């Protein structure tokens, strides 16, 4: 988790994107497969979230769109913040079997990001799909990156909430 928090922090410090980092690992042995940072602004692409970038990079690295294909190791997504609605939707299709999260969506929302509409019971939905979720790993450290981003004047972007 500290590795992806450092990715997020470095992304902010370099001004290359938002305060989010992610990585895909093989669950057994923790071999790093791919990393991703938020690149929404630099790529002018709304779906260039850290998780989406990490998943795309992992799929390119292993040469398959399904990270749970027969004969492949089990893959895990480690992310500095809980997935937003878009990333939540992509995770089951990617073949990821577990998700480890740092900050909560509420931490991202506290600085103004709109995390979108996802089920309140999203962890149970993943469990139903045999995807395990671990939350609040190094949460204070991950949330501190979000706060530093806001204090530094980082752009807050995303869908517009309606009342």
* Cα atoms in the 13 Å half-sphere on the side-chain side of 20: 32
DSSP 8-class letter at 161: P
SS3 state of residue 75: strand
Count CB-CB contacts under 10 A for residue 155: 12
The strand pairing partners of 26, in sequence order, are 75
CB atoms within 10 A of CB 24: 27
Could you give the count of Cα atoms lying within 13 Å of 96 in the half-sphere of its Cβ?
A: 32
Q: Is 51 a catalytic residue?
A: yes
- Residue 22: CB atoms within 10 A of its CB come to 32
Quote the DSSP letter at residue 71. T
Residue with tokens 């690295």: 61
Q: Which of 51, 76, 82, 115 is catalytic?
A: 51
Catalytic residue list = 51
């Amino acid at each position: 988790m500290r590795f992806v928090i450092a990715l997020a922090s470095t992304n902010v410090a370099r001004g290359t994107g938002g305060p989010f980092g992610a990585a895909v690992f093989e669950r057994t042995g923790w071999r790093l497969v791919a990393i991703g940072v938020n690149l929404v602004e630099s790529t002018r692409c709304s779906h260039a979230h850290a998780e989406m970038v990490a998943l795309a990079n992992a799929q390119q690295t292993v040469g398959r769109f399904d990270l749970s294909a027969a004969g492949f190791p089990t893959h895990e997504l480690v992310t500095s913040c809980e997935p937003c609605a878009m990333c939540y939707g992509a995770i089951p299709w990617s073949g990821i079997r577990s998700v480890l999260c740092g900050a909560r969506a509420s931490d991202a929302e506290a600085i103004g990001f709109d995390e979108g509409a996802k089920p309140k019971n999203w962890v149970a939905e993943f469990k139903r799909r045999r995807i395990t979720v671990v939350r609040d790993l190094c949460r204070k450290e991950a949330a501190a990156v979000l706060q530093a981003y806001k204090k530094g004047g980082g752009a807050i972007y995303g869908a517009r909430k309606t009342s």
